[in-house]
Chain A
Amino acid sequence: MESAARWTRHLTAISFLLVACASLHAQSGRLAFADKARMVSCDPSTSKPCFRLKFNVVDAQGAPLNVNLPPGKDLREDMKVYVNDQEITPFLAYSQTGDQSAVRGRIALVLLDISGSMNRVLPSGKTRFETAKDALEQFLAGFDNSADRVAIVPFESHHVAETIQAAHFASTKSEADLQIAALPTPGPKNNTALYSAVDLGLDVLSTEAGSKGNTSGAGAPETLLLLMTDGKNEVLPGDDPGLLDGAAGLDQVAAKVQGSGIQVIAVGFGDPGSVDEGALQRLSTRYYMAEDAESLKRIFTFARTLLTNRIRATFAAPWEDRASLAGKTLRIRAKLRLPDGQMVVSGEQSWEPPEMGVPTFEGRCDTEELKAALPLAPTSTNWLTFLRPILVFIGLGVLLIILWFWVPRLVWPEQYIGEFTTARSGGRWADMKTAAFSGVKPRPSRPAPPGFETRKGGGKTPVRAPADRTVVMPHRDFSKSRLQERSRDDE
């Protein structure tokens, strides 16, 4: 009996601990990349290439987590970035919420499915379409006229390109409300050009963000693409020509989403079996399913929070210049210690350079980043960065010149030297034949002295007999100089 009671107490304690751990896990957060890592130029503060990162703190389900980070809090001491497992401290890191993110603006594009199935009536008595319109009001809560720009665009399977490309980004809440009110009622013959809508929406949002960043001068604005659908991609005869469809269309758009770096939030609103969850997961950076009006409103609130509450970090790469990053894939992770001591970590994101050329900057550092990067300015000019490519060019050029002019003379010498006529056998002096020698004519040899000339017509010189004497021409006086001799002769 006592042992049974003891086991019961142990089991109860273990169960309690397990529940507590599960609860903690559900609340523990992680860092989720809100944008792809972008290489930016912080010149003239530093010539090193810098990288800008953006994060959201989310829970295990992807919902934004309230971590009580004060707006604008300096997180440099609390954040660590790992690039190819090398630890780097960012020179700028802070929480960007509310007014902080308003500095450089927020742009959101909402794509709302208005296919025929959106007319289905829900248990609440409203149609899916009407429920979605109500939820959009939630998304616009806290709209800041000085910072927010929102375009709410319907899509189905007709006039898809014209409608999305004509998106107008409202700069006031009243304008945005008018856009919601002007949404057309879904028609019964409307199908769902889901893939094309996302494809076109990314282009429109990129263009708008690019022009806003260029004109404001405060740096690139925060961007978000919010997609809401109740079904799957469906393109039938009678719809617009050229709409993306099938596995190829999904692959194309999914790759574009990953490459764009824009945060895409997909919301599936409908029966679980009717929504193509697999496609929505591939077409988005974060995906949610909503079963009813309340969950839809909550998700739209999440989307708003993900746009407004972000953590920004900028760090200098440990390499001196862009050329050093050619052909180098960077695996980037980050870790942040929250005010309550909890550590949140991110997954790994890859930064890929161009396949053949030198990486190019995807933007310039804004004023905050330039100020923060000033301590990184080198004390002396790094001349090697300027001279290195010149030295490489000259060195390889010299190598090619050597290979062009010198090595062939070793490998094919017969083409660079002429033929010599050798002296005839038995003859000591060469005949008066000129040798062809690369255009240089050797001087003809002087005549052989008496007794050493070769026989005419060739043949061996006759062997001298032992009795033959060498006749030596007499000299009168060996000590006298030639000048004296000559003067005497002249006399």
Chain B
Amino acid sequence: MSLYQTLYYMSLVGGMAGLFSWALAALASAAFGNQQNAWVSDLLSAAILGALIGGLTVAFSDRWSGSRIMPRWIVSGAFIGLFAGLIAGLVQIPITNNLSERAPVLTRLIAWMLAGSFIGLGLGLRWVAVNRARVAHAFAGGLVGGAMGGFIFGGIGSSVPDLSQALGFVSVGVGICFGVTLAPILLRDGVLRFVSSGDPRAQSKFGRTHKEWEIQQGDSYVVGSQSQDLSRSRYRPEVEIFIPDAGIAAHHAILFGKDGRFFIARHPDSSDPASLARFKLQVRGKSVQKSQELRDSDDILLGRTALKFLSKKDKA
């Protein structure tokens, strides 16, 4: 799947999560209709939105990356999103108490932006091991998404009941996932594109969609064939670029950006002589023993899978 397809579908996932969270929040409101404090309703809405966005984005992003969907990661994502929503709701209480009478529209916008930014922050934690800046990108993306949802909810919320509220939730979901996914794409310095593979599993998984992985300075990706069910982590895959090729080791290589340049190196788990002989890693037709710098349009061969590295900086 291309980067823009990823962006498109992830935005739809966010919209779906927003729609379901609106439905659940409406059901909860109907069930608990009597509350002395308005902040309880906000807390519930933000928590449900965070839980659904957290769970669904983990599920779909893993599916599209070719990885197996792990239930424990979905649960972790949902809990982190729920927790982020709760924190956003609690932070909102003093703001509402102090500002709502003087500036009700601004207060509403701030509430949605807080929810979006905290939920985005929770999503970004999944990639903190890849690049710490991703957390800030996700936070900023969620902030923009929340502002969009708040603008719609506050702007037309009173005009058409239910529809405007649902649109507000859908918009904030779309905005959060769009922002979280867009930041790495906008800031990418390079792209790793699947070309072809002699392994039918990899070919069928990535061949038709020409899967792309965006890379930016500071990122560090593990490339390998380890299936997700063998991963021991609770929230993120151990292998970020998963390629089901028998000729690729479980942890085959590390692709990273440093000091304005990109490199591919043998993973320490595959650096012994037996692995060097068995698992192929070539750049521009030459075998890589330790590490090799990557330039624009370099062909990379891992096992029986051909990838192409494209760099924005080299082109410039």
Contacts and interface: CB of A to CB of B under 8 A. Distances in A.
Q: Do A and B bind each other?
A: yes
Interface of A: 41, 206, 210, 251-252, 255-256, 258-259, 319, 321-329, 350, 352-364, 388-389, 392-393, 396-397, 400, 403-404, 408, 411-412, 415
A327 B41 contact: no
Given A355-B96, A357-B41, A327 B166 contact: no
B165 A358 contact: yes
Interface in B88-102: 92, 94, 96-98, 100-101
Interface in B36-74: 36, 38-42, 44-46
Given A358-B25, A415-B208, A327 B165 contact: yes
Interface stretch (B151-159, B212-220, B272-280): B151-159
A392 B166 contact: yes
B34 A361 contact: yes
A323 B165 contact: yes
Contact of B97 (A255, A324, A363, A389): A255
Which of A256, A329, A396, A404 has the most chain B CB within a 10 Å cutoff? A396
A364 B104 contact: no
Contact of B12 (A354, A361, A389, A404): A404
A319 B15 CA distance: 28
A329 B104 contact: yes
Nearest to B15: A400
Given A355-B92, A360-B35, A361-B35, A323 B161 contact: yes
A70 B35 CA distance: 34
A319 B44 CA distance: 24
Contact of B44 (A255, A357, A397, A404): A357
A381 to B, nearest CB: 17
B161 A324 contact: yes
A355 B112 contact: yes
Given A357-B25, A362-B35, A408-B8, A328 B41 contact: no
B162 A354 contact: no
Given A329-B104, A403-B12, A360 B41 contact: yes
Given A255-B94, A256-B97, A329-B104, A400 B166 contact: no
16 contacts: A41-B33, A210-B36, A255-B94, A255-B97, A326-B153, A326-B164, A327-B164, A327-B165, A354-B38, A357-B29, A360-B40, A360-B41, A389-B162, A400-B15, A400-B19, A404-B9
Interface of B: 2, 5, 8-9, 12, 15-16, 19, 22-23, 25-26, 29, 32-36, 38-42, 44-46, 92, 94, 96-98, 100-101, 104, 107-108, 111-112, 115, 153-154, 157-158, 161-168, 170, 208-209
B192 to A, nearest CB: 19
Contacts of B40: 360
Contacts of B209: 415
Contacts of A210: 36
Given A360-B35, A362-B36, A396-B166, A388 B112 contact: no
A255 B98 contact: yes
A321 to B, nearest CB: 7
Contacts of A258: 97, 101
Which 3 pairs from chain A and chain B are nearest by CB? Answer: A327-B157, A355-B111, A357-B41
Given A326-B158, A352-B38, A357-B42, A393 B97 contact: no
Given A255-B94, A326-B161, A364-B34, A412 B5 contact: yes
Nearest to B35: A360
A251 B158 CA distance: 30
B50 to A, nearest CB: 11
Nearest to A388: B162
B45 A357 contact: yes
A328 B153 CA distance: 10
Contacts of A403: 12, 15
Contacts of B101: 258, 350, 352
Contacts of B164: 326-327
A255 B100 CA distance: 10
Interface centre among A255, A353, A356, A396 (most CB of B within 10 A): A356
Contacts of A412: 2, 5
